Structure formats: structure tokens, C-alpha cells
Amino acid sequence: MSKKVALVTGGMGGLGTAICKALAQSGHTVVANCLPGFPPKDEWLARTKAEGFDFRVAEGDVSDFDSCASMVKRIESEIGPVDVLVNNAGITRDGMFRKMDKSQWDAVLTINLDSVFNVTRQVLEGMAERGWGRVINISSVNGIKGQFGQANYSAAKAGILGFSKAIAQEVAKKGVTVNAIAPGYIATDMVMAIKQEVRDSITATIPAGRMGTPEEIGGLCAYLASDIAGYMTGATLNINGGLHMY
Ligand code: CAA
Ligand code: NAP
């Protein structure tokens, strides 16, 4: 049987790299998306190759529908149809709402939420036609509980949850599952950008007493991408060290 093809958006970032590795370790052909012209692409490929991985790369701007359409066409012709999609690319532009400008709102909504439409729209029909598919959307604990300083990000990540539940219903009979993962604070560049004293005060509120690791999120993605996860759809999986329980 040929290997399933998994596309991970923002695949060279902190969580993206761990998700790519976990999917490769569970037998997928993994395509890591990055922005066109992403300078450290070659270094990332060389580093992961030295670790024993053989990733493919697909350049594309997830905030741009046409860029996503041509990216997915290239993947289909050069590698094969996408069986597993992990919508992982995202950014923060934190600030208190009263000081937030329109560009901070637009950037976060476009890259974190529009992107999920832009990429999923290219692959869902094919998954349904082939009778098998997995869409995994990376939301956030802050999309569930809301976060001071993140009106834009909390809105985008909450939007992903509604999107996932709606689409899950549309393709449930077609062998395609759509789920969301809501990670808590995971030690990547995104979190390290928070001021140290603010970060320390957040860590102090996590019952597990620490931030999560990217590998912990990668492992959950590998499970959701597997055959055995076929009955789980429309779910939001919390993985946050106990920061928010509901
Ligand atoms: N609840 C209540 N009050 C808070 C607060 C909170 N969580 N955080 C800050 N405040 C208060 C401060 O105590 C301060 O009060 P005073 O003016 O009375 O002293 C006031 O708000 C201003 O705080 P700052 O000095 O921090 O203001 P700032 O303008 O320098 O920074 C901020 C504002 C950018 C929002 C900063 O507080 C911050 O970075 N907060 C963290 C936001 C956050 O958690 N981002 C997550 C990024 S990682 C990620 O998003 C991944 C994921 O999904 C988990
Ligand atoms: P990260 O290391 O900054 O990775 C984000 C990735 O997205 C980067 O590779 C980035 O590329 C890419 N990206 C940004 N804009 C893009 C675009 N327009 N097109 C294609 N790729 C783009 O952050 P991370 O922590 O791994 O975050 C990954 C995802 O997890 C995000 O959706 C984030 O919101 C979510 N999340 C993170 C945490 C956490 O605590 N870390 C918690 C909950 C949810 P560049 O480097 O080139 O910009």
C-alpha cells in the first residue's frame, strides 16, 4: 500500500516541525509548507535530513487563496493527493484591545482563520471522493477561554472550532474526519516572544507546572491522522497541562 500524504502548514515552525516528525514516524509521506522564499528552508531540510527524515516542501502563503490552490496542485502532480491536512500555520500580534489597530486584527484573522478555509477548500473534495481523509486544525486554549491581550487571536482560534464542527458534519459519511487540537502554552518561538515576567506568571498558573513540548502535540496529531481515530470527528482535544478544564 502506498504511504498516505500529509501536508502540514507552517511545517517548519516549532509545532510544525514536531508534527512533521510524528507523522513521518507513523508512516506518512510528509510535505512541510512554508512561505515562498522562506530563507531557512534549506537549513531546515538539511537538519531534519541529518536526523533521518526525508521531508518534501511546498511553498505557499496560507493567507492567499490562489497561492494555496497552486501549492496543492503542485503537491498533487509531484507527490500525490493530500490525505491528511494539518492546518498549523499561525501568528500572534498581541496587544490590549483598546490599543489594537486594524492591521493587528487583519493579520491574525487572515493568517490564522482565513488560511484554514484557503487550504482545506483545496483538499476536502478529493478526500471525500476517495472516501478517506483527515483534517486537523490547530486552535488554542486561548480560543476557548479567551486571553487578555489576544482579542484577535482568541477570535480566530475560536472560529476554527466552529469551522471544524461544521465541516465535520458535512464529510462524516465520506470517511473524512475533522478535528481541532487546542494546545495550551507550548515552548516555541511564539511563546518565547512573550515578555519573560508575563510568561513566568502564566507558567505559574499551569497545574502541570510547566509548558508543553511540541512533541506532545505531534503525538496527538499522529493519533488523529491514524485509521483507529476514524470515529473521532468534530472533537476539540485539549492538551494544556490542566490550564483550562471544562
Ligand atoms: N489579566 C488581567 N490583567 C492583566 C493580565 C491578565 N492576564 N495581563 C496583564 N494585565 C494587566 C497588567 O497587570 C497591567 O496592569 P496595570 O496597568 O494596572 O499595571 C496592564 O494589564 C498592562 O499589562 P502589560 O504591562 O503587560 O501591558 P503591555 O501593553 O506591555 O502588554 C500584552 C500587554 C502584550 C497583552 C502583555 O500583557 C502580554 O504579552 N500578555 C500575554 C498575552 C498572551 O498570553 N499571549 C499568548 C501568546 S502565545 C500563544 O498565543 C500561543 C497559544 O495559543 C497559547
Ligand atoms: P511558530 O514556531 O511561530 O510557527 C508558526 C509557523 O507558521 C511558522 O513556520 C511560520 O512561518 C508559519 N506561517 C506564518 N504565516 C504563514 C503564512 N502566511 N503561510 C505559511 N506559513 C506561515 O509557532 P508555533 O508555536 O509552532 O505555532 C504553530 C501553531 O500552533 C499556530 O497556529 C499557533 O497559533 C498554534 N498554537 C501554538 C501554541 C504554543 O503555545 N506555541 C499554543 C496553541 C496553539 P515563518 O516563520 O516564516 O513566519
Instruction: Report the pocket of ligand 1 as residue ranges, CB < 6 Å.
Output: 92, 94-96, 140-142, 147-150, 153, 185, 190-191, 194-195, 198, 202
Q: At 182, give phi and psi (nearest 5°).
A: -115, 90
H helix intervals, the chain: 14-25, 41-50, 65-78, 102-109, 115-130, 141-145, 151-171, 189-192, 196-203, 214-225
Whether the per-residue pLDDT at 1 is higher than 60: the answer is no
Q: Considering the entire predicted model, what is its pTM?
A: 0.98
C-alpha 128/C-alpha 233 separation (Å) is 14
Query: Measured from the CB, is residue 90 less than 6 Å from ligand 2?
Result: yes
Q: How much is the pLDDT for 76? A: 98
- How far away, in angstroms, is 156 Cα from ligand 1 center? 18
57-91: pLDDT as tens digits: 999 999 999 999 999 999 999 999 999 999 999 99
Concerning whether 153 is annotated as a catalytic residue, the answer is yes
Is the sign of the CA dihedral 51, 55, 59, 63 positive or negative? negative
Q: How much is the pLDDT for 2? A: 72
96-113: pLDDT as tens digits: 999 999 999 999 999 999
Amino acid at 17: T
Q: What pLDDT band is residue 39 in, cutting at 50, 70 and 90?
A: confident
CATH of domain 5-237: 3.40.50.720
Q: What is the DSSP letter of 137?
A: E
